[in-house]
A = this chain, B = another copy of it.
Amino acid sequence: MPDRYFWLRCTLCGAEYEATPATYTCSRCGEAGILDVEYDYDYVRARLTRDGLATSRDASMWRYLPLLPVDPASPRPNLRVGGTPLYRCDRFARAIGLREVWIKDDGLNPTCSLKDRASAVGVVKAREAGASVVACSSTGNAGSSLAGNAAAAGLQSYVFVPDRAPRGKLAQLLIFGARVVAVKGSYEDAFRLSMEAIRRWGWYNRNAALNPYLMEGKKTVSLEIAEQMRWRVPDWVAVSVGDGCTIAGVGKGFFDLQACGLIDRVPRLLGVQALGCAPLYRAFRAGTEQWVPEPENTLADSIAVGVPRNPLKALRAVRRSGGEMVAVTDEEILEAMRVLGSSAGVFAEPAAAAAFAGVARARREGVISADEVVVGIVTGNGIKDVANAMKAAGEPIHIPPDLGELQRILGEER
């Protein structure tokens, strides 16, 4: 092993840093100086091969260990993160006018979202840093994935949420033994208090945009997609966009695979925001890296981010891939939830369904053509958000226990 086969580089000023576990942002640029992990790709290329993967018995994201920024000897949380299924769904494809659509169901991760991939890496880095406590602010998936992975690794987690957080998300956090701090105030208040507490008590910081290692976990979803498609690169990969970390990670995965020679081109990224909160979509369409904060008017809570924390990486990833951004209405999101559920048997949370609503819109607008191959990522399980699912799903048939009555109703429907 060379002294170090990965290091950190500032996305703003280009300064290089040693990849110590608790290095978060650029010391020159401050909190805006988000760091990127870079690898010695020749080193990785010799250790991550198609043949080696074909015989690997590891069904989790850790099968890609040479492309992950951890000490290979570090203990990992005892949960199977990643290894989620990829389905080709022709009925869904037909419903939106495409020939070939694949669904990557990351809602089947241990805590039911893609965020488990980031938290698994975060917990490994926390232990490498010698921390026994790891903390973040969250309104949902990030927090519960941290809590679950920390529990499985024997670490204490602290999660800061605004006190309006739905009971369901609180329940998941508390069951995993997280110390949950419900802050009387906004999400921004919870975020700031988490940062103060992290500094005060020296906890490990799992706030996604600030910690460069987390995106490396997220990128494993792309490594899996490429391998599950037997290295046939799709034309498009669609993913919803909130603060920008996830789509940046999805892009990083494909660019890293290309750098290692495992694929010869990168799919175009389709970034999808909710029209009610679309600062990155508007910046993308305006051809700029300047974005304007927006209010958060969408039911897709996981991507309702008016002040995105990772705008640069997200916009750059989409542009570098030759991709596109679209925005969709809440009605389109609810419709996508229904069509995914009834044509594919996949239950997506609103933010996840947005990616597929975006594919349908991009098809209608001619951005995607009918014969292109598209993969959409379900970033979170709809079972976490029952209230919005009911909005999408409609009502059951209410009747007394009487066959005649049922016969009358079913007859009328025909």
Contact = CB atoms under 8 A, between A and B. Distances in A.
A389 interface: yes
A152 B342 CA distance: 8
B185 A78 contact: no
A209 B222 CA distance: 42
B85 A403 contact: no
B341 A386 contact: no
A79 interface: yes
Nearest to A54: B57
Interface string A352-385: 0000000000000000000000000000011110
A238 B15 CA distance: 56
A261 B67 CA distance: 41
Contacts of A342: 151, 175-177
Contact of A390 (B153, B167, B392): B167
Interface residues of A, number: 81
- With a 10 A CB-CB cut-off, give which of A151, A171, A173, A174 has the most chain B CB atoms: A171
Interface of A: 59, 77-80, 83, 85, 87-89, 91, 105, 108-112, 147-154, 161, 163, 167-168, 170-177, 179-185, 189-190, 192-193, 196-197, 200, 337-338, 341-347, 381-384, 386, 389-390, 392-403, 406-407
The 8 closest A-B pairs by CB, nearest first: A177-B342, A152-B345, A174-B393, A180-B396, A175-B341, A80-B85, A171-B389, A189-B401
